[in-house]
Structure 1
Amino acid sequence: MTWSAYSSYLVFVVLVVLAPGPDTMVTLKNSLAGGFRGGLLATAGIAFGNLLQGTLVALGLGALIVSSQPVFTTLRWAGVVYLCYLGFQALRSAWRGDYRAVDETGARASGFRRWREGFLSNVTNPKVLALYLSVLPQFLDPVRGTAFDALLLAYTVAVLGALWLLLLLLFVHRVRVWLRRRRVRRSLDALTGTTLVGFGAALAAEA
């Protein structure tokens, strides 16, 4: 792979990473409920999910999943259910507005739960797999391209995605005093919940 091709790929990946998606909303949800640590663990789960899906595609296994209609459909509906579940959790918090109880529950939540939410929201989103499958071949040399090149492209997405989420976490942590205001937090929970449910509905509407 040439540096010119990789540079073009980097520009494309940055644009994709900056676009708000389920990963962004899940990170925000966990950072609000679990603080910086909660958001960091969710980010780690998302990064691991990205690495896993990228590895599958780079090694040729992702195409098998997509080509198997029952598997791909099951994965898609699992993503729909899980995104809606997370969204309704955030909407319930916004509706109740009892953040003292929410914070106490969040403080008791295990680190694995935060990590799991990030991981599952990523691996049950077939759009991530489809993105890898549709984009990576465009930047790989069909003759001289190697598995290492494919893994480099896939892992670039995971690394840049994690860096962007870390920046988001640092920003949320910086303005945490303002975010603790009940009205602000209810508004953010409502926005996060509605967006997650919207992502789930959009995923369900796809053929």
Structure 2
Amino acid sequence: MTADLWTQYLPGLALILSIFTIGVASPGPATLMIMGTAMSRGRPSAVALSLGVVTGSMFWGCFAAFGFVAAIKASAELFTAMKLAGGCYLLYLAFKSWRSAMAREKPQQVQAMQPVSIRRCFVQGLLIHLTNPKAPLVWLATLSVGMGNTAPLPLLMLTVLLCAFMAMIVFVGYAFLFSTMAASRFYMSFRRPFDAVLGFLFGAAAIKILTARIA
């Protein structure tokens, strides 16, 4: 890319990175799930979940950069199918959190012995983004506002990669921060109310997705 292109699009790139970083750092289904996993399952599981979330976000970012989001906006059936899948998955996560909140608290030693699949955690993080029908539309809006409709594809892909790098720093940072012994002790002390709140937030996110419409 030429120096003129950098000069033209650098302010938009900085704007996208700033907004994106604030967005991923703010509380949401993905960040709350990473925090909960880090406190209850440990650092490796939380990092795997974080990488799954970032991978899902990158997929939709590339999808938007290549212009395939127009197919979703043009197809009400496809958008509805994605909406149902995303809503049902979040309701499933809400059910799991509520069930955990109602269960009797287990000793920390017993909980630590429960087998955890790193691959399963990665897939869970991946599904959070892949089943969110608003994710590609948000990416499309973000790239359009920051880059405009004339930005070259290599610049759009670079923007997606930089956003993914920032998301990895934030999410993996949360995984490390909330997997400390102090965070684990806090979770064991307030596990039931924490899981109840998490279930409520997952349920609210599910309702928001199920009632969403194409802008």
TM-score by length of 1: 0.89
After superposition, the C-alpha distances for 1:90-149 in whole angstroms (9 at most, x for unaligned) are 1111110333498267x3132111111111111101121111111101222444x21111
**Corresponding position of 1:171:** 177
**Pairwise mapping of residues 1-207 of structure 1 onto structure 2 (< 5 A)?**
1=6, 2-100=9-107, 103=111, 107-143=114-150, 145-174=151-180, 175-181=182-188, 183-207=189-213
| Cross-structure match for 2:3 | none
Equivalent pairs, count: 204
Residue by residue over 1:18-71, the C-alpha shift from the partner in whole angstroms, topping out at 9 and shown as x without a partner, is: 222221122123223321111111111111101111111111122212321111
Give 5+ residue unaligned stretches, structure 1: none
Q: What runs of 5+ residues in structure 2 fail to find an aligned partner? A: 1-5
**Alignment CA distance shift 1:201-1:92 (3 Å):** same
For the structure 1 residues 21 and 180, does the alpha-carbon distance in structure 2 shift closer, same or farther, using more than 3 Å as the test?
Answer: closer
Q: Is the 8 Å Cα contact of residues 50 and 157 (structure 1) preserved in structure 2? A: no
1:147-202 superposed Cα distances (whole Å, 9 cap, x missing partner)? 11111222333222222112212221232342243x31222211211111111111
CA–CA distance in 2 between the matches of 1:140 and 1:133?
10
Computing the radius of gyration from Cα coordinates, the structure with the larger value is: 2
Distance 1:129 1:142 in 2: 16
Query: Do the aligned partners of residues 122 and 99 (structure 1) sit closer, same or farther apart at CA in structure 2, a change above 3 Å counting?
Result: farther
Q: Which amino acid aligns with 1:40?
A: V
73-82 or 94-103: bigger deviation: 94-103
Larger mean CA deviation between 65-74 and 47-56 belongs to 65-74
CA distance in 1, matches of 2:155, 2:186: 42
Cα distance in 2, alignment partners of residues 100 and 74 from structure 1: 41
Return the structure number with greater helix share: 1
User: Contact (CA 8 Å) 2:178, 2:184: kept in 1 or not?
Assistant: no
- Alpha carbons of 1:98 and 1:12: their partners in 2 closer, same or farther (altered >3 Å)? same
Moved over 6 A (4+): none
Please tell me the residue identity of whatever aligns with 2:111: D
Alpha-carbon contact 2:38-2:176 (below 8 Å) kept: no
Aligned CA distance change for structure 1 residues 116 and 86 (closer, same or farther; 3 Å): same
Query: C-alpha distance in 1, partners of 2:69/2:36?
Result: 29
Q: Is the 8 A contact 1:28 1:192 kept in 2?
A: no
Q: Structure 2 length normalisation: TM-score?
A: 0.86
The one-letter code of the counterpart of 1:75 is M
Q: Is the 8 A contact 1:26 1:121 kept in 2?
A: no
